[in-house]
A and B are shown apart, each in its own frame.
Chain A
Amino acid sequence: MRITKKLLTRLEGEVQLKLVWDEGKIKDAFVIVPHFRGFEKVLEGKPYLDALVITPRVCGICGHAHLIASAKAIEEVCRKAGIEFYLTEKAKTFREITLLLEILQNHVKWFYLYFFPDFFKYVGVKDEDYRPFVGKRWSEAIKASNLITKALATLAGQWPHNSYAVPGGITSDLFPAELVRASSLIKEFVKFLEERVFGISLRELLNCKTKRFLEHLRGDAKLFLEKALENGLDRAGRSYANFLTGGSVEPLIKPCVKKEKTCKFHPEWIEEKEDFSYFGKNGYTWSKAPRYRGLPYETGPLPRQYFARNPRVLYLYRNFKDSLITRVYARLEELAIFSLLVLEKVESLDLFQKSWIRPPVNTKELSGRGYGIVEAARGTLIHEVEIEKGVIKRYNIITPTAWNLGPRDEKFLGVAEKALIGLESEELAYLVLRGFDVCSVCTAH
């Protein structure tokens, strides 16, 4: 038996992959997150509004999702305490827009900067255009994702690490001209998607309801699908095919879980197992292992698009299950679907509504418990806060990457670990891991 260890870089933080080989196949796999910062402990004892500034700092790539989760968790505490307040449509829609924008900038970076270089190496394509740092497409992708972060900053002040969502609404109060600027930035991004990623108009793509999309597609999505099929990625990377989406993306996606069939999602049924994290006795990673009714679940674009009944992703899923090809393509689809959705939402905004309505709450007296659940780039992000007399007593964060990249428990391997078993090449193992969009700083915060 042979054991290999390798540090995976070009991602937010570092992840180490330990593989146990038997007769040329992976027999066991350990996804190891070696860093830990202790955000939940830092939050204890702080006035609860401080969470809005501290939790975004958990992650430099999905910090905005942490902000919205914090704001929602606090709002749920207020609601449960019987405090009546509401958000204007404008504030709600702004939050939805900025969350989606964060997903867009993430996916495009993930595809071109993190996934594609390894993918090209694995499938044996040499193309100067895609070469890290120097390739033309590489820098186009960075420029495209900058269009989105610029739009996000226009709405929310800066990206990353703003705190523009506060209980009761948002802090920014845009001029119509600023909104027009944001929307034209997003439209420019759509142009990049149409020219480079999909090679057809996004409307055309979304109108393909059958497998004919495979003939219509051009661009890098097509390149990916072709090469992936040629190289057997439709059989690599399958895991449990248990899907979980705890948040919603209005109006397309509602909270759901699926094992054999699809059911409603209840956050109270989540349990975090610690045995194989450094918090427990057999630890090898800083991540905990979240389980829903005792079982591991995958979260992220694939579950979301499955629940949204996206016909193209469903076609791949029916044929290739939860393999690497389906997982990666689902992520690409979100670029198309969410950019059109975000433009619709921008159109629907009424800027003359109020941004913020002060919740009638005495900040020194508020007590209670609440969940804030959002869909972030990598999947469902859950914040749970317990407040006592205005002070945070306990704060618990369950990140999407803890679901996907967390460790085993006494019965089940983690989702990514399971996806690696049986693979015959180390390169392929890294690629499968990349398919989950690895981020170590979230996995162990």
Chain B
Amino acid sequence: MKNLEKPFYEIVRELANLSDFVVALGNCAVYGNIPALKDEKIVELQFRFKEKEGLLGKDFRSKRGLPVVNISGCPAHPEWFINTLLELKHRGKVPLDELGRPKEFYAYFTHDGCIRVQYYEWKVEAEELGTKEGCLFYKFGCRGPLTHSSCNRILWNGVSSKTRSGQPCFGCTEFDFPRENLFETKLNMGIPAELPPEVSLRAYIMMAGVAKTFTPKRLKRKLIDEDNEEAPNET
């Protein structure tokens, strides 16, 4: 920050040392993120991308003994933020993952609670954007199964989420947001190059084989038939 009497980061450092808890809100404060991509001078609180460093340093603990509590996301979800603050106030602690994020919100994946999850299970791809049907993992770059978030559990604005409205998850709670080619799945011999954590290629191929062979036909039909506006019920 230019032109102010005291550099902004000095103010932050002073405040951090006086505070019971320090909470970083949003990907820029948590990991540096977009502004840090092309600017070495940008500082974040305790992680630079995934390396522990940043303005307060890797050993920083606030007065009540916690490292920086990271509410990642671009944007961070307001409910996860407020609930974390309340929990810190009332319980004085909160379980964190290795990136300093409250586990209650970041132990889940965007995928958990997505209304397209049956299509994922049975490997039914969305062929086009703008439809209710199909999973976006195979063509359109969805990062849902690889992104720690509660987006589909605690909805956005109380009503919806990206994947519910047909957008792929872009992985905006992770340190490597924004990755490149966000609307396209990188494939390796027809298989998504990145698989969900702790899923082996062998397991994936076996499950995909079974799923594709036995896909229930209903998953290939439209949810609502557009011509007669009636749900199809033939089997």
Contacts and interface: CB of A to CB of B under 8 A. Distances in A.
Interface of A: 7, 14, 16, 32, 34-35, 37-39, 41-42, 46-47, 49-50, 52-54, 57, 60, 91, 146, 149-150, 152-164, 166, 168-173, 175, 181, 278, 284, 286, 352, 354-356, 358, 363
Contacts of B34: 37, 39, 42, 54, 57
A358 B163 CA distance: 19
A87 to B, nearest CB: 11
5 A-B pairs with least C-beta separation? A355-B130, A356-B130, A157-B165, A158-B156, A171-B166
Interface in B139-166: 151, 156-166
A157 B129 contact: no
Contacts of B37: 42
B183 interface: yes
B38 A173 contact: no
B155 to A, nearest CB: 8
A356 B156 CA distance: 23
A60 B162 contact: no
Interface string B120-150: 0000000011111000000000000000000
A164 B165 contact: yes
Given A41-B38, A42-B38, A49-B183, A164 B157 contact: no
A157 B2 contact: no
Contact of A171 (B2, B3, B35, B130): B130
Contact of B2 (A34, A91, A156, A358): A34
B130 A150 contact: no
A441 B67 CA distance: 29
Nearest to B158: A150
Contact of B159 (A154, A356, A363): A154
A108 B67 CA distance: 38
A278 B2 CA distance: 10
A355 B2 contact: no
B160 A158 contact: yes
A278 B129 CA distance: 42
Interface of B: 1-4, 34-35, 37-39, 74-75, 128-132, 151, 156-167, 170, 172, 178, 180-184, 224, 226, 229
Contact of B130 (A46, A60, A159, A172): A172
Dominant secondary structure of chain B at its interface with chain A: loop
Contact of A159 (B2, B156, B224): B156
A53 B162 contact: no
B4 A16 contact: yes
A163 B170 contact: yes
Given A16-B3, A278-B2, A46 B183 contact: no
Choose among B129, B161, B162 the residue with the greatest number of A CB atoms under 10 Å from its CB. B129
Contacts of B183: 49-50, 52, 166
19 contacts: A34-B1, A34-B2, A49-B183, A49-B184, A50-B178, A52-B183, A53-B178, A152-B157, A153-B157, A157-B163, A157-B167, A162-B167, A169-B129, A278-B2, A284-B3, A352-B226, A354-B130, A355-B166, A356-B129
Contacts of A91: 130
Given A16-B4, A164-B165, A363-B184, 9 more contacts: A34-B3, A50-B183, A150-B159, A152-B157, A153-B157, A157-B164, A171-B129, A171-B130, A286-B2
Contacts of A175: 224
A163 B157 contact: no
Contacts, number: 129
Choose among B167, B172, B180 the residue with the greatest number of A CB atoms under 10 Å from its CB. B167
B157 A159 contact: yes
A47 B129 contact: no
Contacts of A160: 75
A64 to B, nearest CB: 12
A439 to B, nearest CB: 15
A163 B4 CA distance: 35
A380 to B, nearest CB: 24
A7 B39 contact: no
A157 B161 contact: yes
A147 B166 CA distance: 22
A22 to B, nearest CB: 22
A161 B75 contact: yes
A158 B4 CA distance: 35
A46 B162 contact: no
Contacts of A172: 130, 165-167
B130 A169 contact: yes
Nearest to A45: B180
Contacts of A161: 74-75, 172
A46 B178 CA distance: 10
Given A153-B157, A173-B131, A38 B39 contact: yes
A253 B63 CA distance: 56
A356 B128 contact: yes
Choose among A7, A146, A164, A363 the residue with the greatest number of B CB atoms under 10 Å from its CB. A164
A158 B180 contact: no
A156 B165 contact: yes
B214 to A, nearest CB: 27
A158 B110 CA distance: 14
B166 A38 contact: no
